[in-house]
Amino acid sequence: MNKRNLLRATACAALLASGGLAFAQGAPFKVGLILPMTGQQATTGRQVEAAARLWIAQNGDTVAGRKVELIVKDDTSLPDMTRRLAQELIVNDKVDVLAGMGITPSALAVAPLATQSKTPLVVMAAATSSITQASPFIVRSSFTLPQVSVALADWAPKNGIKNVVTLVSDYGPGIDAEKFFKERFQFNGGKVPESLRVPLRNPDFAPFLQKVRDLKPDALFVFVPSGAGAAVMKQFAERGMDKAGIRLIATGDVTDDDQLNDMGDAAVGVVTSHHYSAAHPSAANKKFVEAFQKANNGLRPNFMAMGGYDGMRLIYDAIKKTGGKGKGEALVNAMKGDMFESPRGPVLIDAQTRDITQNVYLRKVEKKDGQLWNVEFDVIKDVKDPGKTK
């Protein structure tokens, strides 16, 4: 065995051994939360961490005799950094569960480590359909882009929208959104004359939006990750595209609750589809929003916060179901089939796919009491990820 292979084998052995050393009854139950806390996706990290800490504050930091310890690491949305941090958390900190994952490339970078070390990985944000297929130890508490894109592709042609140009960020979730919207919309009789993809990092939407204006479709369908929607909205309005009769329809990432009030009246009337709105009119959600804002200086929770909050619930449920003694595969098995009433509505973790089944809502941006909200006007119940049903 040459030196390189020897080092690789030693690293793998350390990872495998760490799984056996991680558990000791009465020892802290460690959750390694890897998130983008700085950089372009920093709002994702801020929301997920705040929600995870809120869950712990509301439900106590001890479960089935195990004190839960949250270890937060900033990967700045760089997959190489995510992988290095995950390896340190498994080998050095001996975490029981990895969680977080702000973007898809980060989740995919950690998937092989989760498999090797048999460490459950709860994906709280990233939303490409294929993520849960990358490791049998991945469970998702967020959503998938196919889930929400298909709902909008069914709504649009029933509401006079027959011709749509798509514009998405050029990476996994964007390609999922484009593919599943386009296929369903065309199946419903719609036409997609152009599909545009913009770079994930430092995108300039101007030339793409000008092309859309020249094409004059009935509507522009958009997916961009959380944090980039405000720029799309601003440039859409600056080019007078709404006045030219082009509607903007989008996945809910674009009218992110965290940033919606900063978008101004240009956002009013935009229709989106998503799994969570801070304006969801249930008693459970009103209680959640009030508690989140009280704990975070008035910050409005968004869909990323919901992924973090329910992700911690999944982890707590798994600890309880295994009597505080479970690890690795036992924890993943305990998460399969978990059902509960979330602030977003009813949630089920599909036992076959380890992906989330949930309601998808159609919403319209409205101004109420001087603030902008994603107001739900229709719901498609119990939506599985369409990417797993083909």
One-letter identity of residue 208: F
Please give the DSSP secondary-structure letter assigned to residue 270.
-
pLDDT of the residue at 25: 53
pLDDT of the residue at 200: 82
H helices of the chain, in order, are 3-21, 42-59, 79-91, 104-117, 145-155, 172-187, 206-215, 229-238, 283-295, 303-321, 328-335
CA 326 vs. chain centroid, Å, equals 26
Residue 181 tokens, joined: 């919207």
pLDDT of the residue at 4: 47
pLDDT of the residue at 242: 86
Maximum C-alpha span of the chain? 70
pLDDT of the residue at 7: 44
pLDDT of the residue at 144: 97
pLDDT of the residue at 389: 64
Residue 53 tokens, joined: 């800490």
Over the chain (390 residues), what is each successive 10-residue block's mean pLDDT?
A: 45 45 68 93 94 98 96 96 98 98 95 98 96 98 97 96 96 94 97 94 86 94 88 89 92 94 91 98 97 97 98 98 94 98 98 97 96 97 86
Name residues whose C-beta falls within 8 Å of residue 166's C-beta, 6 or more positions apart in sequence.
Answer: 177, 178, 181, 182, 192, 194, 195, 196, 220, 221, 222
